[in-house]
Structure 1
Amino acid sequence: MSVGFVGLGNMGGRIARRLAGAGHRVLGHDPVPGAAERAGATPAAGLAEVARTADVILLSLPDSRAVEAVVLGDGGLLAHARAGQIVVDLSTSAPATTRRIAALLDAEGACFLDAGVSGGAAAAERGALTLMAGGDRAALDRVRPLLETFAQRIFHLGGPGAGHSAKLLNNFLNAVSLAATSEVMIAGRKAGLDPEALLEVLNASSGANWATANRFPHIVRGDYLEGGLTSALMTKDVVLYVDHLRELGVPSLNAAGPLASFGLAANLGYADQISNRVVDAIGDVAGGVRVHEKQHGEQED
């Protein structure tokens, strides 16, 4: 199968390099000059060339609006769709938008799979991402060998939109745990607790979560795991989650915390930095606290 890739940024570029490294010729399109070449892809003249050439097209875009523009815009993928073509959306998108796009492509004989991605930049480079897929199972099975070049685990959740729904639910829990753990770690610092000792206690106790187990062991040593989801994108994902729950008729009672935390980070200049920097934003308003630095008056061991 010939492969097209639209969106070769932070995650898309890493995924495209995995595909190219596995021997696939990838035709890439991105508005940033040189992005295709850096990702090991052959640059396309435009979306129309990707749509006409590729049997499978992967999208890695910032949000639903960008996906709509690429698929439904003038000269977009829908205008050139053909029977048997498969479009895989790796973006974090609104499930309602995903279902609408899937129906439009289905009418042209093409197939749209939503495949939410989890694992971050490091997992993308290792080929160890998790995919949450929605759409036709047979189409997913056709492209599974391709997806397995960058994903270690692939879950089929149901029809169109199911993958993106699962991704929003997962990202919300990620946002809650990261924001809450950041607050706790700053509070512990101001209480005079050693961050590494506090983290060891948390990971041995009922407060353990993904952030305590996988993020803060690095952050307390000054490594923010740069290259992952930014604070601006995390805020966008939480807003999508709230909208999704409204559509489902489910009360969203716990979104205020992460919205406030990542909104604070964005307004303090961390919008385009990795979301792990939310701990620094909280530390800023707590008096310039950093969990990985000795504070005034502390003695070296």
Structure 2
Amino acid sequence: MRVGFIGLGNMGGRMTRRLVDAGTPVLGFDTDPARAAQAGATAADSVRAVVEGSDAVLLSLPDSRVVEPVVLGPGGVLESAREGQIVIDLSTAAPASTVRIHGELGEAGVEYLDAGISGGAAAAEKGALTIMVGGSAEALAKVEGVFAAFATTVVHMGQSGAGHTTKVLNNFLNAISLAATAEVMVAAKRAGLDLTQVLEVVNASSGVNFATLNRFPHIVKGDYLTGGLTNALMMKDVALYVDCLGRLGVPSLSAAGPLAAFGLAMNLGYADQISNRVVDAIGDVAGGTRLHTTEE
């Protein structure tokens, strides 16, 4: 199967590298032409060139506002797609948009899989991502070998939109645990507690979560684990969650906390820095508190 990849940034570039290192040539396109070479892909000069030269086209783009014109706009995927092709959207996108794109591609005989990914840059580099997929089970079976290069867990969630819905829900839990843990750790610092001991206790108690286990043991030493989602992207994901719940008729009662935390981080100049720096934004308004004394 010939593989094309559109969007070779933080995550797309890492997944492309995994494919290439596994022996799968990749035809890649990005608005930054240098990224194809960095990821080991053969550079294409347009979206059309990727589509025409591939059987499976993977997308890794910021959000639906970018996905829609890339797929449906002039020079986009739909214009060049052919019957039997499979388009795999690895972006974090609005489920309602995903379902609409699925319908338009389906009319052209093209399969569209919404494949939310989780695990971040570190898991992408190790080939240990989790993928939650919506769309045809038959199409998914055809691209299992593609996913195997960068994922260890692939779950078929159901019909179109199910993968991206699951991703939005997962990302909200990620956001709320990060924001809440950041607040708690700043409070612990202000209280004069030993932060390593605080994490030891929390990780053996009911407050344990992904952030306490995997993020803050590094952050308290001054390592912010750069390379993951920025505060701006985390804010976007929380907004997607609120929109998703609104469409489902479910009250988003817990969204105010992370919206406030990541909104604060953006307004204090951390928008394009890794979302783990939300702890510094909270620290800024708590008297300039930092969890560590060693600068990056």
TM-score of the superposed pair, with normalisation by structure 1: 0.96
Structure 1 counterpart of 2:220, which letter? V
Q: Is the 8 A contact 2:27 2:43 kept in 1?
A: yes
Task: Give the whole-Å Cα distance in 2 for the aligned partners of 1:93 and 1:73.
Answer: 17
Question: What residue is the counterpart of 1:101 in the other structure?
Answer: 101
SS where residue 68 of structure 1 aligns? helix
Question: What residue is the counterpart of 1:297 in the other structure?
Answer: none
Deviation at 1:267?
A: 1.1
Q: How does 1:150-229 map to 2 (within 5 A)?
A: 150-229=150-229
Question: What residue is the counterpart of 1:273 in the other structure?
Answer: 273
Question: What residue is the counterpart of 1:263 in the other structure?
Answer: 263
Asked if 1:73 corresponds to 2:73, the answer is: yes
Structure 2 counterpart of 1:289, which letter? T
Query: Which segments of 5 or more consecutive residues in structure 1 lack a partner in the other structure?
Result: 295-301
Task: Give the whole-Å Cα distance in 1 for the aligned partners of 2:163 and 2:20.
Answer: 25
Q: Is the 8 A contact 2:265 2:277 kept in 1?
A: yes
Question: What residue is the counterpart of 1:28 in the other structure?
Answer: 28
Task: Give the whole-Å Cα distance in 2 for the aligned partners of 1:22 and 1:170.
Answer: 28
Task: Give the whole-Å Cα distance in 2 for the aligned partners of 1:179 and 1:145.
Answer: 36
Coordinate RMSD, CA, aligned: 0.8
Deviations 1:70-115 (A, max 9, x none): 1001011001111110000000000000000011111111100000
SS where residue 10 of structure 1 aligns? coil
Deviation at 1:214?
A: 1.1
Q: Is the 8 A contact 2:50 2:57 kept in 1?
A: yes
Structure 1 counterpart of 2:251, which letter? P
Deviations 1:37-74 (A, max 9, x none): 11111110201111111100000000001100110010
Q: Is the 8 A contact 1:195 1:292 kept in 2?
A: no
SS where residue 11 of structure 2 aligns? helix
Query: Which segments of 5 or more consecutive residues in structure 2 lack a partner in the other structure?
Result: none
Deviations 1:112-135 (A, max 9, x none): 000001000010000000001000
Q: Is the 8 A contact 2:33 2:43 kept in 1?
A: no
Task: Give the whole-Å Cα distance in 1 for the aligned partners of 2:109 and 2:252.
Answer: 37
Deviation at 1:199?
A: 0.8
Deviations 1:227-278 (A, max 9, x none): 0011000000000000000000000001010011001111111111110110
Q: Is the 8 A contact 1:26 1:41 kept in 2?
A: yes
Question: What residue is the counterpart of 1:230 in the other structure?
Answer: 230
Asked if 1:6 corresponds to 2:6, the answer is: yes
SS where residue 157 of structure 1 aligns? strand
Q: Is the 8 A contact 2:13 2:35 kept in 1?
A: yes
Task: Give the whole-Å Cα distance in 1 for the aligned partners of 2:276 and 2:251.
Answer: 27
Task: Give the whole-Å Cα distance in 2 for the aligned partners of 1:92 and 1:240.
Answer: 9
Q: Is the 8 A contact 2:36 2:43 kept in 1?
A: yes
Deviations 1:172-227 (A, max 9, x none): 00000000000000000000101101111111111111111111111111111110
Percent of aligned positions with the same letter in both sequences?
Answer: 66
Q: How does 1:42-57 map to 2 (within 5 A)?
A: 42-57=42-57
Deviation at 1:293?
A: 2.4
Task: Give the whole-Å Cα distance in 2 for the aligned partners of 1:68 and 1:201.
Answer: 46
Deviations 1:12-42 (A, max 9, x none): 0101000111111111110113011111111
Task: Give the whole-Å Cα distance in 1 for the aligned partners of 2:70 and 2:216.
Answer: 37
Structure 1 counterpart of 2:290, which letter? R
Task: Give the whole-Å Cα distance in 2 for the aligned partners of 1:266 and 1:35.
Answer: 27
TM-score of the superposed pair, with normalisation by structure 2: 0.98
Number of equivalences: 294
SS where residue 143 of structure 2 aligns? helix
Task: Give the whole-Å Cα distance in 2 for the aligned partners of 1:80 and 1:72.
Answer: 10
Structure 2 counterpart of 1:54, which letter? S
Task: Give the whole-Å Cα distance in 2 for the aligned partners of 1:140 and 1:273.
Answer: 34
